[in-house]
Amino acid sequence: MTEAIKVTVWNEGRHEKEHEEVAKVYPNGIHTVIADGLKAHGFTNVRTATLDEPEHGLTDAVLADTDVLLWWGHMAHGDVRDEIVDKVHARVLDGMGLIVLHSGHFSKIFKRLMGSTCNLKWREEGEKERVWVVESGHPIAQGLGEYFELENAEMYGERFDIPAPDTLVFVSWFEGGEVFRSGCCYHRGLGKIFYFRPGHETYPIYYNETVRKVLANAVGWAAPSGGPAPQFGNVKPIEKLGA
């Protein structure tokens, strides 16, 4: 089943070109490392796409052929064209899974889907993060321990201005005194959305084995379920009193 899921990993891909320190950690781009992690967990159908490709690499053909899209962006959210956001939005509501990573909380697509500012507190001091599982029976927690640690992480702190998730899977603890809802599941339309906090452009988060395991679990969870596409609009009565 894992093999059949078609995954597209999207990355802004600017940091890697512009900042040497990012290029050292992710010489071929964050997307390639995320894709490698998924392949290591048995996904064979994984492509990547980046901001500076035509249509940001998200053509109609690519979107139609994608079951789950992962989204990493940070410094260039504003450069993502609205008509591409429209298409991604429509595809999510149509059933495509979406996994929003770290600074993607401020991406156009996530804000569009959430309807709120998606704002938060942050601090970049390489402090320790401990990610706790709070919904142990959820498929995204499969194979994890009760918590996992990231030795050096950017802090994200509450209040995280999102709708309360349908299911809250992870809550993070930070050395400096904050907490954060780090793993948040949503249904929107026919699509499933997972926001996952860990990640950064210079901390090597996406090489972490537990982070990779979570992403693999999340892709499995977010893949389309094959439920009924609703018929909208004016409909005839199926039953009518006295008919």
- Restricting to residues 144-163, name those near its own copies by CB under 8 A: 144-146, 155, 157-161, 163
Residue found under tokens 């999207």: 10
**61 versus 241: smaller Cβ distance to its own copies:** 241
Nearer to its own copies, 39 or 138 (CB): 138
27 binds its own copies (CB under 8 A): no
Instruction: Return the number of the residue (52 or 146) whose C-beta is nearest its own copies.
Output: 146
What is the residue whose two structure tokens read 């309807």?
Answer: 115
CB-based burial label for 19 (10 Å; 0-12, 13-18, 19+): middle
State the minimum distance, in angstroms, from the CB of residue 53 to its own copies. Answer: 26
- Under the binding rule (CB under 8 A), the answer on residue 116 touching its own copies is yes
CB 72 within 8 A of CB 15: no
Site for its own copies in 176-195 (CB under 8 A): 176-179, 181, 186-192
Cβ closer to its own copies: 61 or 243? Answer: 243
Q: Which tokens hold the place of 143?
A: 């194979």
Identified binder of its own copies from the candidate list 52, 65, 82, 166, rule CB under 8 A: 166
CB within 8 Å of 76: residues ≥ 6 apart: 12, 14, 51
Q: Which residue has the tokens 């018929």?
A: 231
Q: For residues 120-139, which are near its own copies according to CB under 8 A?
A: 120-123, 125, 127-128, 130, 132-139
Contact region with its own copies (CB under 8 A), list: 26-34, 57-65, 194-202, 221-229: 221-229
Residues 58 to 97 in contact with its own copies, rule: CB under 8 A: 93, 95
**Which DSSP symbol is given to 242?**
T
Part in contact with its own copies (CB under 8 A); list of ranges 8-16, 64-72, 202-210, 235-243: 235-243
User: Which of 23, 53, 76, 173 touches its own copies (CB under 8 A)?
Assistant: 173
φ and ψ at residue 24, rounded to 5 degrees:
-65, -40
Tokens of 188: 């929107």
Of 24 and 121, which CB lies nearer to its own copies in the complex structure?
Answer: 121
Q: Is 98 helix (H, G, I), strand (E, B) or coil?
A: strand
- Count the residues of the shown chain that bind its own copies, applying the rule CB under 8 A: 80
Report the alpha-carbon distance of residue 156 to residue 103 in Å, rounded.
10
Given the structure tokens 């997307």, which residue do they identify? 31
Per rule CB under 8 A, is residue 1 in the interface with its own copies? yes
Site stretch for its own copies (CB under 8 A), options 50-58, 73-81, 202-210, 228-236:
228-236
Q: How far is 43 from 34, CA to CA, in rounded Å?
A: 12
Structure tokens at 93: 């509501």
β-bridge partners, 58:
none
- The answer to whether residue 42 forms part of the interface with its own copies (CB under 8 A) is no
